[in-house]
Amino acid sequence: MPDNNDKTEILCDQVLRACSSKTPLAIRSGNSKLFYGRDVQGEPLPLDEHNGILSYKASELVITARSGSRISDIESALDEHGQQLAFEPPCHSDQSTIGGAIACGLSGPARPFHGAARDFVLGAKIINGKGELMQFGGQVMKNVAGYDVSRLMVGAQGTLGVLLEISLKVLPKAEAETTLAFEIDAVEGHKMLRGWLIDGHPVTASCHYQGVLSVRLSSTENSISNAHRKMGGEVVANDLWQQLRHQSHPCFEQANLWRLSLPPAAVIHNEDDQLIEWGGALRWKVSNNDLFEQAQRLGGHATRYNINSSPAQENSSDEIFQPLQAGMLAIHKRIKHALDPNNILNPARLYKEL
């Protein structure tokens, strides 16, 4: 079998040929997030064999891996040194890859407390739509001058470049974790949570669902004990956070599920029928109605999020992501044209116009 340097050349050649013939490419790896976007019709460009950890400097909190590396393998390596991917990327299967996690830009329960996926990206190596190998960023935080293209890849779902390698900042794991539960409505729960954050309690995740507010504390044993004494609440099992991170919670099995990113204090009718994360900034709500307009009116955006459904077909009238305003769509088109002038990389994956 060819080594990974040869595989990089093979991928570059395939993109170059596709560019010459203007053949669309469907970028694939673990295939665990096919539901998250529109269906791409094109010649497959598989990345699952382009894998492996290239560099891991535990003392410097930096890891570099090929995009086809499984998240589980990366986390096993980090665990040996008591470290973690602090943005807690969802794994929808045991084949979920780090390239897919970064391309989709999804973060788990710790996102408002540790940071989003894009905040941990230090650098990336990509193939653009012209078949050119490009390197952006590096392996330290203070190395970016000008436009940070490596972070532009986060959430682009391969439409701007084929992700080959990613350098990420990692963080130490906490000494201990505890989950506290409180029976309280969503509005009052939000007020309590804000108070705890102002008081400096070591909150690293929150969830309100069916009348119960759950809060994760991550710190030293002594700090958690002191926080619990001041906050109150019942100590419960910690498995909720893995269910939310990997989206295996029963909430995600429902049809017509929407992911709403909103200002934390925004109010939506019947809040108690939602699952609320991120201190109110992330809502999961089932609705047969289109929620794009409502989310925009509240100062946020909406995404259709049916894990068990097939990707929307190119000719489908259903948008997956919040429709872009004309000015923003024009900017997206210019960036797309600069990196992929023939529109061959995952065309229409995010929007029909791209």
151 and 212 together in one domain: no
Does a structural domain hold residue 313?
no
Coil/strand/helix, residue 222: helix
88 and 109 Cβ atoms separated by less than 8 Å: yes
Q: Are 137 and 122 in contact (CB under 8 A)?
A: yes
Strands 133-137 and 121-127: antiparallel
Smallest Cα–Cα separation from 40: which of 28, 26, 29?
26
**DSSP-derived secondary structure letter, 120:** G
- CATH number for the domain including 109? 3.30.465.10
By C-alpha distance, which of 137, 195, 199 is closest to 168?
A: 137
Q: Which phi and psi angles does 274 have, rounded to 5°?
A: -110, 160
Same domain, yes or no, for 191 and 294?
A: yes
pLDDT tens for the chain, residues 1 to 354: 445 567 888 999 999 999 999 999 999 988 889 999 999 999 999 998 999 999 999 999 999 999 999 999 999 999 999 999 999 999 999 999 999 999 999 999 999 999 999 999 999 999 999 999 999 876 554 444 445 788 899 999 999 999 999 999 999 999 999 999 999 999 899 999 999 999 999 999 999 999 999 999 999 999 999 999 999 999 999 899 999 999 999 999 999 999 999 998 888 766 667 999 999 999 999 999 999 999 999 999 999 999 987 776 655 667 899 999 999 999 999 999 999 999 999 999 999 998
For residue 252, which amino acid is it? Answer: F
Is residue 182 domain-shared with residue 93, that is, in the same domain? no
Beta bridge partners of 212: 183, 209
Q: Among residues 8, 101, 91, 92, which one has the least CA distance to residue 49?
A: 8
Spatial CA neighbour of 160 closest among 42, 347, 336: 336
Please give the residue range of the domain that contains residue 247. 176-304
Same domain, 164 and 233: no
Residue 209 shares a structural domain with residue 335? no
- Same domain (yes/no): 153, 241: no
Residues 210 and 296 in one domain: yes
**Is 262 within the bounds of a domain?**
yes
Q: What is the CATH number of the domain that holds 286?
A: 3.30.70
pTM (2 d.p.): 0.91
